[in-house]
Amino acid sequence: MTEAILEGRSLYHPISKRNMFWRRIATAFFRWPIAPADIHVFPDSTDRASELIKEGYSIWFLGTHPTKREGLELIARPLQYVKELAQLSMVMPISLHQFLKERSAIDPLSEMTGVTAAPVANEDAMEQQEFIRAILGRDVKLGEGIQQYARLIREAFVHGSGAGIAPQGGRRKTLELDQAKHRAIEFLIRKNRIKRGDKLAFLFISMGPGYNADYEKVYDKFNIFKKWNVTFLRTITLDEMYDMLDRANEILADSPVELGKVEITLDELALIILSLPMDDNYNKIPKGYQALLSSFEEFVGVMEAIREM
């Protein structure tokens, strides 16, 4: 059983008309009043994702993850707002213990919608070893399932695809820069031999319960029927991300935001971008990094839109 869950899962490809039908049904359930949301679509986000898909790009969705709800949001909202995704293979990670708890629902939904679920033993799963042992008959090691996740993403990437990435490493009560320590984005790029200039882009989606929320109370809930804030920030190609990273690190080498930290990683840059519309109850990334991004021409419009929210 362990091998079938952590090693033997197959990519749903190609996407059938039946899959596309069920994707429409599933996303319809994620509209008001089941999952009401204030949706903010910034320039160069969803429209650009659509154009890049037409050019053969794969799109990786990067999102914040303060509660159980965002795992569903990260599937439904891109499908609602980027219509071209309807025909693409999609791979979504899920914490192993959460997958085991909800498998009776996840597997049928995956088969119907053609969204491939990839269970991963992340840090959250490590806190659920007793439960996992009761199901699988053994303890699991941190990171088990990541090789399968990378393989599935690679299989999808060669066809043009969508994939969910959790740069925080799981569900978190705050947003902090050191959550990028496992460098999941860089690992997936390196593991799949994706090179600068390849047709890969990132759609940044900041999600959460909104300003002045009590993140302790909402953390372990799906928060259905509650209004959520969902912000499509930007779609940025891999090549553009590396260019931004180079510029950021040139500035940080002379003027570090934090003492002794003269460069950031690609994963940390992703978290800084996602932090832009998040409220201070959740966002604990030093403000100097947001100020750094605001000096980049491509984020001027984003910062103005955030101020008007």
pLDDT, average across residues 226-252: 96
Question: In the prediction, which pLDDT does 102 show?
Answer: 95
pLDDT, average across residues 4-11: 89
What pLDDT band is residue 2 in, cutting at 50, 70 and 90? low
Question: In the prediction, which pLDDT does 179 show?
Answer: 98
* Sequence spans of domains, the chain: 2-237
Residue 233 main-chain phi, psi, to 5 deg = -80, -65
pLDDT, average across residues 15-42: 92
pLDDT, average across residues 152-165: 94
Give, in order, the Cα–Cα distances in Å from 237 to each of 34, 49, 173, 243, 247: 33, 10, 29, 10, 15
**This prediction's pTM:** 0.96
Question: In the prediction, which pLDDT does 104 show?
Answer: 96
pLDDT, average across residues 4-25: 93
Q: CATH number for 2-237: choose from 3.40.1130.10, 1.10.3720.10, 3.90.1170.30, 3.40.630.30.
A: 3.40.1130.10
- pLDDT > 70? residue 1: no
